[in-house]
């Protein structure tokens, strides 16, 4: 199968990028893992289309692009509800749509969540760089959609097949974007170095997403006074929550660096990462401590 | 090296951190690299990723770890095994660096601050042998330990907004190279014409953790020549 189809970018929107499940095997060279911010929504889109879970989707942030399809295929939108429209007619998330040449997909206002995923049959066929198709600044030639760009895909004939199981799954997914729910976290490597009072302050605090937030990380507003010393630079992961000497929390996201020198007080649960991906400036964040195991 | 028992703790659902006491030392680096090698060899079938840093290593599993107890038990046994394992010999690399004022904006400052002539700063930087403790901050940015104490200098109070690609910096007792243009706070004393990160190459980086690095001084014309012919051999043993 060759990518003979393409989407034309009529308007790029705020920040849309091709994503998958990220790069593995290059962390020792400082290459970020990257990949979809909300992996759950990304995988769900692929599940609807019966793609591989790693097939590339388009991650769309808050203000969606305007896209023109040049070949027939099937698409589905998951994650945030950004009021999608096909040829100016509203369409729903979590419904597989057959598109024809010249169809236009656009988006309106954000109803819930921040990041939507546009899945396409067989996945987007952007160039593989270091084992992944997802875009990461400094690694891939492109890092976000630009006007006039083309996105390649493999055209697909109409198909009406949609598994009942997938539909049920969708109902669960739609309940998932709820910004009032606590974000699941585990204790991080330096959590034990906090005093009891500091731990309580950290875990019971209510924070807000600050203005400094992107695919690398999100700074939270709301201070946690602490007396932790900087640590010897050590490994970090997406989902690592760092505490700065001034008491600020930084949640590392998918494109984060591979090492860091601030104490790692919490580590987001996988589902917690997906929840954070659906938050934006001003949204509330509070934690729910989970326990992996008692053997430490 | 004294017998150390590391702390082995989970980092979320998919990773385990193996952390030794906070000592930055070459024998600990060798031990960590040996543990990494053994981890990857013993579980080839699981697609594990391992990041090493100064005194810890992180093992990342492809999906949620089901049985932390047995993974930790296994990691303890790998650490025990690594203590008696013969270490593999590190690679040695010689990197050309141009210290011309045109590409070394902080050489003057370092020279004044450390009360050394410019040529003394250059020869001290070139005489030392460095180890790559880790690659981080930016893809391909090597943290090199082994800087001579005579060149120890803090980072800039205000980081530069733009440090040129290839810039060789010093900070504390470390030296490093910016693989691409980026903001940065290290004191820039030279520039290396060899590209240190190419996402289209595999591996994307000619340097790896554990490598031994030495620098050799080159002139500005040589810098230009190597930049145009980056195939220049950097391996020297």
For residues B91 and B134, give the distance between their C-alpha atoms in angstroms, rounded to a whole number: 14
What is chain A's mean pLDDT, rounded? 91
pLDDT tens-place string over residues B2-60: 557 899 999 999 999 999 987 778 889 999 999 999 999 999 888 899 999 999 999 99
Instruction: Please indicate whether, in this complex, the C-beta atoms of A259 and B24 are within 8 angstroms of each other.
Output: no
pLDDT band at B230 (very low <50, low <70, confident <90, very high): confident
pLDDT tens-place string over residues A2-39: 788 999 999 999 999 999 999 988 999 999 999 999 99
For residues B120 and A278, give the distance between their C-alpha atoms in angstroms, rounded to a whole number: 55
**Range A183-289 classified under CATH 3.40.50.800:** no
- Count of domains forming chain B: 2
pLDDT at A150 over 70: yes
pLDDT tens-place string over residues B158-181: 889 999 999 999 999 999 999 999
Contact list in B for residue A133 (CB cut-off 8 A) is: none
Domain of B155, in residue numbers: 92-228
| Residues of chain A contacting B, Cβ within 8 Å | 24-32, 129-130, 138-140, 186, 188-189, 231-235, 237, 239-240, 257-259, 264, 267-270, 292-293, 295-296
pLDDT band at A1 (very low <50, low <70, confident <90, very high): low
Give the best residue of B5, B12, B71, B178 to mutate against chain A (max A CB count within 10 A).
Answer: B12
Q: Where are the domains of chain A?
A: 5-176, 183-289
Burial (CB count <10 Å: 0-12, 13-18, 19+), residue B231:
exposed
**B21 and B126 part of one domain:** no
Residue B69 touches partner A, C-beta closer than 8 Å:
yes
Q: What is the ipTM of this complex?
A: 0.90
pLDDT band at A43 (very low <50, low <70, confident <90, very high): very high
Give the best residue of A21, A24, A27, A30 to mutate against chain B (max B CB count within 10 A).
Answer: A30
Backbone angles phi, psi at B4, to 5 degrees: -115, 140
Query: How far does B135 lie from chain A, in Å, by closest CA?
Result: 5
The mean pLDDT value for B75-85 works out to 90
For position B51, which CATH number holds?
3.30.1360.40
Q: Are residues A259 and A232 in contact, defined by beta-carbon separation less than 8 angstroms?
A: no
**B38 and B98 part of one domain:** no
Q: Which of B84, B103, B128 is the last residue of a domain?
A: B84
Backbone angles phi, psi at A10, to 5 degrees: -80, -45
Inside any domain, residue B234: no
pLDDT at A168 over 50: no
Distances (CA, A) of A118 to A46, A113, A126: 9, 14, 14
pLDDT band at A233 (very low <50, low <70, confident <90, very high): confident
Q: Which residue has the higher pLDDT, B95 or A160?
A: B95
**B106 and B24 part of one domain:** no
Q: Which of B63, B84, B105 is the last residue of a domain?
A: B84
Query: How far does A27 lie from chain B, in Å, by closest CA?
Result: 6
DSSP notation for A91-151: --TT--EEE-TT-EEEE----EEEEEEEEETT-B-PPPBTTB-S--TTTSS-SS--TT-EE
Backbone angles phi, psi at B126, to 5 degrees: -85, -25
DSSP-derived 3-state class of residue B228: helix
Q: What pairs with residue B131 in β-bridges?
A: B145, B212
User: Would you tell me which residues 182-201 of chain B have a C-beta closer than 8 angstroms to some C-beta of chain A?
Assistant: 197, 199-200
pLDDT tens-place string over residues B187-206: 999 999 999 999 999 899 99
pLDDT at A296 over 50: no
Query: How far does B100 lie from chain A, in Å, by closest CA?
Result: 28
Q: What is the pLDDT of residue A164?
A: 44
The mean pLDDT value for A47-74 works out to 96
Q: What is the pLDDT of residue B85?
A: 79
pLDDT tens-place string over residues A89-110: 999 999 999 999 999 999 999 9
Q: What is the pLDDT of residue A59?
A: 98
Inside any domain, residue B173: yes
Q: What is the pLDDT of residue B182?
A: 93
The β-bridge relationship of strands B15-19 and B56-60 is antiparallel
pLDDT band at A159 (very low <50, low <70, confident <90, very high): low
Burial (CB count <10 Å: 0-12, 13-18, 19+), residue A136:
buried
Query: How far does B200 lie from chain A, in Å, by closest CA?
Result: 6
**B24 and B140 part of one domain:** no
**B161 and B96 part of one domain:** yes
pLDDT tens-place string over residues A238-269: 999 999 999 999 999 999 999 998 999 999 99
Give the position of tokens 């000592």. B23
pLDDT tens-place string over residues A200-214: 999 999 999 999 999
3-state secondary structure A3-34: CCEEEEEEECCCEEEEECCCCCCCHHHCCCCC
Contact list in A for residue B17 (CB cut-off 8 A) is: 189, 234-235
């Amino acid at each position: 199968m060759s990518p003979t189809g393409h989407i034309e970018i009529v308007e790029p929107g705020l920040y849309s990028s091709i994503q998958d499940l990220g790069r593995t095997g290059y962390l020792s060279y400082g290459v970020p893992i990257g990949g979809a911010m909300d992996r759950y929504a990304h995988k769900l889109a692929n599940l609807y289309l019966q793609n591989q879970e790693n097939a590339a989707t388009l991650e769309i942030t808050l203000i969606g692009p305007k896209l023109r399809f040049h070949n027939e295929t099937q698409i589905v939108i998951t994650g945030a509800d950004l009021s999608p429209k096909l040829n100016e007619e509203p369409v729903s998330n979590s419904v597989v749509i057959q598109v024809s040449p010249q169809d236009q997909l656009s988006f309106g206002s954000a109803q819930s969540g921040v990041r939507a995923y546009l899945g396409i049959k067989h996945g987007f066929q952007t160039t593989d760089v270091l084992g992944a198709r997802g875009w990461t600044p400094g690694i891939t030639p492109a890092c976000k959609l630009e006007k006039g760009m083309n996105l390649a895909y493999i055209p697909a004939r109409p198909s009406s097949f949609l598994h009942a199981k997938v539909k049920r799954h969708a109902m669960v997914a739609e309940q998932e974007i709820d910004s009032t729910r606590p974000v699941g976290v585990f204790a991080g490597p330096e959590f034990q170095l906090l005093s009891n009072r500091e731990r309580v302050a950290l875990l019971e605090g209510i924070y807000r997403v600050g203005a400094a937030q992107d695919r690398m990380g999100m700074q939270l507003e709301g201070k946690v006074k602490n007396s932790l010393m900087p640590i010897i630079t050590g490994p970090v992961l997406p989902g690592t929550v760092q505490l700065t000497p001034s008491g600020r929390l930084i949640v590392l996201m998918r494109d984060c660096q591979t090492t860091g020198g601030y104490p790692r007080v919490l580590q987001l649960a996988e589902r917690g990462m997906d929840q954070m991906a659906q938050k934006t400036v001003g949204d509330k964040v509070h934690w729910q401590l989970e326990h992996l195991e008692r053997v430490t | 090296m004294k017998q150390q028992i590391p702390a082995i703790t989970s980092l979320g659902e998919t990773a385990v951190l193996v952390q030794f006491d906070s000592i930055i030392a070459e024998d600990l680096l060798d031990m960590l690299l040996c543990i990494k090698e053994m981890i990857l060899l013993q579980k080839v079938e699981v697609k594990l990723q391992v990041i090493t840093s100064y005194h810890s290593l992180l093992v990342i599993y492809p999906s949620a770890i089901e049985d932390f107890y047995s993974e930790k038990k296994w990691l303890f046994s790998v650490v025990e095994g690594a203590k008696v394992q013969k270490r593999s010999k590190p690679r040695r690399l010689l990197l050309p660096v141009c210290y011309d004022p045109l590409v070394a904006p902080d050489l003057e400052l370092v020279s004044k601050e450390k009360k050394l002539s410019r040529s003394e700063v250059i020869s001290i930087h070139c005489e030392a042998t460095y180890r790559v403790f880790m690659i981080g901050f930016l893809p391909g940015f090597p943290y090199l330990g082994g800087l001579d104490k005579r060149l120890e200098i803090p980072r800039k109070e205000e980081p530069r907004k733009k440090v040129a690609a290839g810039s060789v910096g010093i900070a504390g007792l470390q030296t490093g190279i910016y693989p691409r243009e980026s903001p940065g706070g290290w004191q820039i004393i030279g520039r290396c014409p060899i590209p240190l990160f190419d996402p289209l190459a595999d591996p994307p980086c000619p340097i790896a953790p554990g490598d031994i690095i030495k620098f050799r001084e080159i002139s500005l014309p040589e810098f230009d020549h190597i930049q145009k012919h980056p195939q220049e051999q950097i391996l020297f043993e």
